[in-house]
């Protein structure tokens, strides 16, 4: 089952066909499923008018699949160096004599990221911001005026709501564009935290259920309607050095991330970057990420924030 959220309200349920559940949000439905200890599918009302999901997407009417009504209680985070093949691009950015920290972290995942039992090695982890940074399909991904680059990262994201007792409940998975500043990251690995504080796009469809073991998709960048970059990307545990369960443990082991009612969107990393292929993006470029398991592609144009990057931000004193 796939679910999509309309910006104006209402949920599109897609199985063999698409139908509209009016007056509902996926957040409300998921919260009710947690409250009543039922599967999400059991709380979705029957019936609803038939709708054209691709047309709704093309018209820009679809939102991020799941939002918290209080944006400050929606946390965007992720893990890197989790996919086989992901270390090469990062290692090239951070290479020193001997093994870079990126390669060391990647090898740790290969050796201990999929434990047969118990807890495996912890991954690299990053923070992107709150719900104000969550961008809907077709809406622009805005690069700050001070950024040195704006590049895509095609990923899979999982959405979680914490129950009243703090237990995380996974609602589903969607495509994600973990928009980042790779030039800033390349300056110094300690700038990774800065490079990740950017918006991210999610959707258009939420896959409810388990993540397929082998996900095969395509990431491309269009400029003036023509592709300037196109490459396959792989995800799913068959192509990862960590298990999903291990990545979930190392995120939710922190008590602040298990506060009742909070929403977490966690991205699982990638091995495909246009930056590694020498692409420099420009305002107006369109990122397109697709994978058959997730239905409609995720498309977002890139924009650059207006303003003087050298003008200091002042702080008022009370």
For residue 130, give both structure tokens: 């709150």
d(CA 205, CA 293): 10
Alpha helices in the chain (DSSP H): 26-36, 40-43, 53-58, 87-94, 101-112, 182-187, 192-196, 244-252
- Looking at every residue in the chain, the average pLDDT score rounds to 91
- Sheet with 215-223, side-by-side order of all strands: 141-143, 298-304, 286-290, 215-223, 226-235
Confidence of residue 18 (pLDDT cuts 50, 70, 90): very high
Q: For residue 94, is pLDDT > 80?
A: no
Report pTM.
0.91
CB atoms within 10 A of CB 142: 21
Q: Any residues with CB less than 8 A from the CB of 42 and at least 6 apart, and which?
A: 33
Q: Where are the domains of the chain?
A: 64-304
Confidence of residue 20 (pLDDT cuts 50, 70, 90): very high
Confidence of residue 255 (pLDDT cuts 50, 70, 90): very high
Question: pLDDT tens digits for 209-240?
Answer: 999 999 999 999 999 999 999 999 999 999 98
- What is the DSSP pairing of strand 298-304 with strand 141-143? parallel
Q: What CATH number has the domain spanning 64-304?
A: 3.90.850.10
Nearest to 295 by CA among 60, 52, 12, 14: 14
d(CA 29, CA 34): 9
Looking at residue 200, its pLDDT comes to: 98
| Residues 169-173, mean pLDDT to the nearest whole number | 98
Looking at residue 115, its pLDDT comes to: 74
**Under 8 Å between Cβ of 279 and 273:** no
Confidence of residue 108 (pLDDT cuts 50, 70, 90): low
d(CA 212, CA 267): 15
d(CA 185, CA 93): 8
Q: For residue 268, is pLDDT > 90?
A: yes
Q: Check residue 54 and report its DSSP letter.
A: H
Count Cα neighbours of 287 within 13 Å in the Cβ-side half-sphere.
Answer: 37
């Amino acid at each position: 089952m796939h679910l999509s959220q309309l910006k104006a309200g209402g949920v599109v349920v897609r199985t063999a066909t698409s139908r509209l559940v009016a007056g509902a949000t996926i957040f409300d439905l998921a919260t009710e499923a947690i409250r009543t200890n039922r599967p999400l599918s059991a709380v979705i009302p029957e019936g609803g008018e038939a709708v054209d999901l691709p047309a709704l997407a093309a018209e820009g009417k679809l939102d991020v699949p799941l939002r918290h009504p209080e944006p400050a209680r929606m946390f965007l985070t992720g893990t890197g160096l989790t996919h086989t093949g992901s270390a090469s691009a990062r290692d090239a950015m951070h290479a020193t004599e001997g093994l870079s920290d990126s390669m060391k972290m990647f090898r740790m995942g290969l050796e201990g990221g999929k434990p047969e039992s118990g807890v495996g090695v912890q991954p690299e982890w990053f923070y992107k911001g709150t719900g104000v940074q969550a961008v809907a399909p077709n809406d622009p991904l805005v690069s700050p005026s001070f950024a040195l680059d704006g590049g895509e990262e095609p990923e899979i994201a999982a959405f979680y709501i914490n129950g009243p007792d703090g237990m995380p409940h996974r609602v589903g998975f969607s495509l994600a564009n973990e928009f980042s500043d790779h030039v800033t990251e390349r300056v110094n690995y300690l700038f990774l935290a800065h490079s990740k504080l950017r918006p991210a796009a999610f959707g258009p469809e939420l896959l409810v259920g388990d993540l397929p073991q082998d996900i095969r998709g395509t990431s491309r960048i269009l400029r003036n309607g023509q592709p300037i970059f196109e490459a396959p990307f792989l995800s799913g545990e068959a192509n990862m050095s960590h298990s999903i369960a291990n990545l979930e443990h190392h995120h939710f082991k922190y008590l602040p991330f298990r506060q009742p009612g909070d929403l977490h969107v966690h991205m699982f990393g990638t091995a495909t970057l246009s930056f590694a292929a020498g692409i420099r993006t420009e305002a107006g470029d369109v990122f397109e990420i697709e994978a058959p398991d997730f239905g409609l592609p995720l498309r977002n144009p890139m924009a650059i924030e207006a303003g003087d990057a050298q003008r200091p931000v002042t702080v008022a004193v009370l």
